[in-house]
C-alpha cells in the first residue's frame, strides 16, 4: 500500500507540473514570446531557473557521493563558479544588451558575420545534443535504481512530460516550472537530511565526529600542488585548479552557451539580467555546500564504512539506496519527485535552447515577421517537438552505462566549450580580429583540445582555460599575420 502512495505522489507531481507549465505559457504571439518569454520575465525567476537548469539529477546524486568518499574540496570549484558568473555579468551581459540579440551566437553574427554565427550555433547544437542525450540517459539511472522501472520507461516518463509542457508553454513555462522544481528537489534533499540527523543518536555532533575521525572531511581548500607541474594539472581539486577551472567553466557555460544565455536574454533589461545571474551565483555555492554536507551526513549514517564494502559499485549509488531503504513511504515519493524535478528542469532547458538556436540562428525566415500568430509559432514549436523526440530517442539507444559514446559525448562538450569562449573574447576584446581570424582560432583551439584529451591526463578543470587561451592566441596571431601581409601588398 505504501508503495502505491509513493507512485500517487509521483503521478500527481508529473501531471501537476505539466498542466501548470502548459497553462502558464499558453499565450504566445511569436518566436520572441516563445523563446525569450517576451523579454518580460522577472529577474528572480530567471535566477532560480538558471540554478535548476544547471542542476541535473547527476548533481543531486553525485555530489553527496563525492563528499562521502572524499571531502568538500569540490566547493573550490563552486567558488570559481561564483567568480565566473560575476565576470559574465560585468563583461558579457552589457555586450549582449547593446543590441537586440536573440541568441548568444547572434552577438558573433553582428561582430564577425553570419557565417560564424551559423557555425558556432551548429557546434552548440551538436555538442548539446550529445551532452543532453547522455544526461537524459544518466538521469534514468538513479530513477531506475529508486523505482525499479526499466530504463526505457524512466526515459519516456521524464522526457514525455517535460516535452509536453515545453512544447506548449515555451520559455515562460520552462522558467516557471524550473522555479517550482528547484524547491521540490531541495525540499526532498532537506527531508532526507532531517531524517538522517534524527536517526543519529548524537545528531549533528555525530556527523562532525565521523567526518573528523580519520582526517578532516570538512576541508574545503586543498593547498597541495603535487610533485611537479604535470601532476598539478592532473589534479582537479587543487585550490588554483578549482578556482581558475570553475571560473572559466562558468564563463563558457553562462556566457556562451545558449542553454543559459537564453534565460538572461529573456529579462526586461541589462540590470535585471545581471541581478538574475548574481542570484544564481550566490545560490549555487550554497546549494553545492548543502549537497556536500548531505554526503557527510550519509557518511555518519553508514558509520564511515567504505561504499565498496557495502556492495555499492560507485558512490553515486549511496543516496539512491538510502532513499529506497530508509525513507518512509510518502517521504520517499517526495524525494523521488525531487529527483524527477532536477531531471526535468535540466531537460526542458536543453530542448528549448536547441529549438531556439536552430530556429533563430539557422532557419529563421525574415519574411514571416508579419505572419499570423498561428504561423509565427509553427516553426518554433516544430523544432521544439523535433529536438524533444531526438533527445528521448537518443537516450533510448544507450543500454549500458559503460558505453563509450557517453565518454565521447562528454569529451566533445569539453573540447568545444573553451574554443567557444575564446571566440567570444576575441569579439569582445579585439577590434583587429576579423571573421577569418576567429575561424582559425576556433579550429586550432579544437584541434589542441583533442590532443589534450586523448594524449594527456590533464583534468577537466583546466580544459576550458586551455581551449580558450589557444583560440584567443591563434586568432590574434592570425590577425597580425594577415594585416602585415596586406600592408606588404
pTM metric for this prediction: 0.87
- Dump pLDDT digits (tens) for 352-406: 999 999 998 888 744 455 555 556 688 888 999 999 999 988 888 765 544 444 4
How far CA 477 is from CA of 113, 164, 336, 452, 484, in Å, comes to: 20, 48, 53, 21, 11
- Residue 419: pLDDT band (50, 70, 90) is very high
Asked whether 343 and 57 are in contact (CB, 8 A), the reply is yes
pLDDT recorded at residue 230: 58
Least confident stretch, 7-11, 130-134, 267-271, 298-302: 130-134
pLDDT band at residue 296 under the 50/70/90 scheme: very high
- Tell me how far apart the alpha carbons of residues 190 and 414 are, in angstroms, rounded to a whole number: 32
Cβ-based neighbour number of residue 24 at 10 Å: 19
For residue 41, the cross-strand partners are 267
Question: Residue 44's pLDDT is what?
Answer: 94
The cell numbers describing 402, all together, are 559503460
Name all domains of the chain by residue range, CATH numbers in brackets: 2-401 (1.20.1730.10), 405-489 (no CATH)
Q: Nearest CA to 37 among 47, 28, 50?
A: 28
- Model confidence at 431, pLDDT cuts 50, 70, 90, reads confident
The residue assigned the cell 529536438 is 387
CA angle 471, 473, 476 (to 5 degrees): 105
**H-helix segments, 25-150:** 31-36, 43-54, 57-69, 74-87, 93-96, 104-112, 114-147
Q: How many CB atoms lie within 10 A of CB 152?
A: 14
Average pLDDT over every residue of 423-434: 89
Q: pLDDT of 189-200, one tens digit each?
A: 898 999 999 999
CA 313 to chain centre: 25
Alpha-carbon distances of 362 from 75, 121, 132, 260, 281, rounded to whole Å? 38, 8, 20, 19, 31
* pLDDT tens-place string over residues 111-170: 899 899 999 999 888 888 877 877 787 777 777 777 778 888 888 988 999 999 898 888
Amino acid at each position: 500500500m505504501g508503495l502505491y502512495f509513493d507512485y500517487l505522489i509521483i503521478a500527481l507531481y508529473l501531471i501537476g507540473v505539466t498542466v501548470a507549465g502548459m497553462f502558464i505559457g499558453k499565450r504566445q504571439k511569436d518566436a520572441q514570446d516563445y523563446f525569450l518569454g517576451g523579454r518580460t520575465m522577472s529577474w528572480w525567476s530567471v535566477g532560480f531557473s538558471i540554478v535548476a537548469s544547471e542542476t541535473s539529477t547527476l548533481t543531486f546524486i553525485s555530489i553527496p557521493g563525492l563528499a562521502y568518499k572524499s571531502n568538500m574540496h569540490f566547493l573550490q570549484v563552486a567558488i570559481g563558479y561564483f567568480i565566473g558568473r560575476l565576470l559574465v555579468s560585468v563583461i558579457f551581459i552589457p555586450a549582449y544588451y547593446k543590441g537586440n540579440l536573440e541568441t548568444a551566437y547572434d552577438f558573433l553574427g553582428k561582430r564577425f558575420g553570419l557565417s560564424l554565427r551559423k557555425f558556432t550555433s551548429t557546434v552548440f547544437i551538436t555538442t548539446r545534443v550529445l551532452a543532453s542525450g547522455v544526461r537524459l540517459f544518466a538521469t534514468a539511472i538513479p530513477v531506475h535504481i529508486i523505482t525499479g522501472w526499466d530504463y526505457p520507461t524512466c526515459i519516456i516518463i521524464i522526457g514525455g512530460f517535460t516535452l509536453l509542457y515545453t512544447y506548449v508553454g515555451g520559455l515562460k513555462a520552462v522558467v516557471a516550472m524550473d522555479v517550482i522544481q528547484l524547491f521540490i528537489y531541495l525540499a526532498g534533499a532537506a527531508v532526507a537530511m532531517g531524517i538522517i540527523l534524527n536517526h543519529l543518536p548524537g545528531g549533528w555532533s555525530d556527523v562532525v565526529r565521523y567526518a573528523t575521525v580519520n582526517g578532516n572531511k570538512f576541508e574545503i581548500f586543498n593547498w597541495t600542488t603535487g610533485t611537479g607541474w604535470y601532476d598539478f594539472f592532473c589534479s582537479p581539486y587543487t585550490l588554483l585548479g578549482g578556482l581558475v577551472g570553475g571560473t572559466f567553466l562558468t564563463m563558457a557555460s553562462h556566457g556562451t552557451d545558449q542553454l543559459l544565455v537564453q534565460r538572461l536574454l529573456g529579462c526586461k533589461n541589462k540590470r535585471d539580467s545581471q541581478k538574475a545571474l548574481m542570484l544564481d551565483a550566490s545560490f549555487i555555492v550554497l546549494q553545492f555546500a548543502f549537497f556536500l554536507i548531505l554526503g557527510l551526513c550519509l557518511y555518519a549514517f553508514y558509520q564511515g564504512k567504505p561504499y565498496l564494502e557495502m556492495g555499492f559499485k560507485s558512490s553515486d549509488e549511496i543516496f539512491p539506496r538510502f532513499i529506497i531503504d530508509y525513507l518512509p513511504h510518502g517521504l520517499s515519493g517526495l524525494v523521488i519527485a525531487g529527483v524527477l524535478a532536477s531531471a526535468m528542469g535540466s531537460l526542458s532547458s536543453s530542448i528549448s535552447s536547441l529549438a531556439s538556436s536552430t530556429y533563430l540562428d539557422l532557419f529563421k525566415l525574415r519574411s514571416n515577421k508579419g505572419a499570423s500568430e498561428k504561423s509565427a509559432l509553427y516553426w518554433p514549436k516544430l523544432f521544439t517537438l523535433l529536438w524533444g523526440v531526438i533527445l528521448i530517442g537518443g537516450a533510448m539507444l544507450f543500454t549500458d552505462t559503460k558505453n563509450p559514446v557517453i565518454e565521447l559525448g562528454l569529451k566533445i562538450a569539453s573540447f568545444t566549450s573553451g574554443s567557444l569562449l575564446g571566440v567570444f573574447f576575441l569579439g569582445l576584446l579585439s577590434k583587429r580580429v576579423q571573421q577569418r581570424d576567429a575561424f582559425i582560432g576556433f579550429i586550432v583551439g579544437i584541434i589542441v583540445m583533442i590532443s589534450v584529451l586523448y594524449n594527456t591526463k590533464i583534468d577537466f578543470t583546466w580544459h576550458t582555460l586551455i581551449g580558450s587561451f589557444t583560440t584567443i592566441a591563434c586568432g590574434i596571431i592570425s590577425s597580425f599575420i594577415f594585416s602585415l601581409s596586406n600592408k606588404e601588398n
